[in-house]
Amino acid sequence: MSRVAAADLVLLTAHGGADLDSALEASDQYSPLEGPDRGFARAMASAALRALGRIDLVLSGVLDRPLERIDPPVLALLRVGCAQLFLMGIQDYACVSATVEAARRWRPASRGGALVNAILRRAASEPRAFLEAPATSIWPDWLAAYIRSSIGEPAACAIAELQLEEPPIDLSLQRGERAADWADRLGATALPNGSVRLETGRPISELPGYAEGRWWVQDAGATLAAGILGDVRDKHVTDLCAAPGGKAMQLASAGAKVTALDISRQRLDVVKRNAARLSLPMTIVEADARGWRPEQLQDAVLLDAPCSALGVLRRHPEGAWRRDPADLARFPKTQASLLDAAWEMLRPDGVLSYCVCTPSPEEGVDVIEAAIRSGRWERRPIAPDETPGFSHAVTPAGDLLTIPPPALSVERASSEVERDLAASSVTSDVFFVARLVRRS
């Protein structure tokens, strides 16, 4: 039943407009599954969504009719079948026979078994169609064009290739914990920035250290925004748009007097649960940052601004199909207004860390340059030695953009220096981070 559940998840997201987390809760095919079956269903659905555009390109080449004329449940099964063939390394015969059987057992697709059999066999016999498709074809055409025009073809392809990989699980550790110790204990990898990286699929709440609050889940790239604030012990720091709370936990663990603010009560409940599990003190405030002000001026503010989230599509791949150009255009105005609010919260010479999880210049460097031109801010450039594992992400201006540069792959490196850099570089979700100081 795993394949039926995976197809139902794809149906709910690609056709029903749900996000994957909501689909996982709503699917009556996924809910009864347990253990490995549950994990396998989620892995298949996630793989299909991560490569959706590229899979559809292959299917369009082997179908005798447009995709929109295929019954949505049958199309969902075809997409799940292609994900098994091209991304998960499942043998052709096993993939085809099991997916055909899923069609027969799943009432909404029960009439499509013959079509699923024929199309998956054709697709399996022509793997080059998937392998040779443009990397950016995983996204809708308009979004692929937008990302290519924003950051260039090589960077866009690097992000797309990263999206095709199952993302790992990164853990941030409480102050005093050693990454090497936890890597040994969990059978994981210690990263240069101090995070611990696990393979995906591990049951988080069952791992050693979870119940004791010794660590929390946080992408390695997400640690940069708090890290560039330096030593925050006993300093007053406000984390704006704080949910789900990883950066607030990072600041509190480092000894800061943290105020975690977010507009969403539901998302703040997650922050409260995490803070309680980790026994980290912080003040949690439900408010719109544009109207709220602290009782005293802050030493530092971390602004993880609302954004298009194009840098986390490998974790939320359905997001590419829930965006439109108008949706992207609305963010810079909100980001600028939040910067103005942060300025009013900071003491003179107070430090701001600005972060967005997107590579879009309109939401990153353009917002920062406009803030500097206003005369209220000056940039405090980030140095490579401040960001172990992410020296490749430091821009000429002194900001951070965590795009995995294609030139840094060990195989392609053309010098010993480049090979060393490639070996020590950390791949992550894509973040833009800048450090500003409030001018007096």
3-state secondary structure at position 413: coil
Q: Pick from 108, 101, 92: which is nearest to 8 by CA?
A: 108
Mind giving me the DSSP string for 108-161? GGGGGHHHHHHHHHHHHH-THHHHTS-GGGGS-HHHHHHHHHHH-HHHHHHHHH
Mind giving me the DSSP string for 57-74? HHHHHH-SS-GGGS-HHH
Q: Pick from 254, 191, 264, 249: which is nearest to 217 by CA?
A: 249
Q: Give the span between the Cα atoms of 435 and 397, in whole angstroms.
A: 11
Catalytic residue among 95, 307, 355, 357: 357
How would you label 259-289 residue by residue, b for 16+ Cβ within 10 Å and e otherwise? bbbbbeeeebeebeebbebbebebebbeeeb
- Residue 309, amino acid: A
Under 8 Å CB-to-CB from 233, ≥6 apart: which residues?
254, 255, 256
Question: In the annotation, is 357 catalytic?
Answer: yes
Number of H helices, E strands in the chain: 18, 12
The alpha carbons of the chain give a radius of gyration, in whole angstroms, of 23
Question: Which is it for strands 346-356 and 377-379: parallel, antiparallel or unpaired?
Answer: unpaired
Under 8 Å CB-to-CB from 398, ≥6 apart: which residues?
379, 380, 381, 382, 383, 435
In the numeric block, the tokens 């974790």 are attached to 315
Q: Which residues does the annotation mark as catalytic?
A: 357
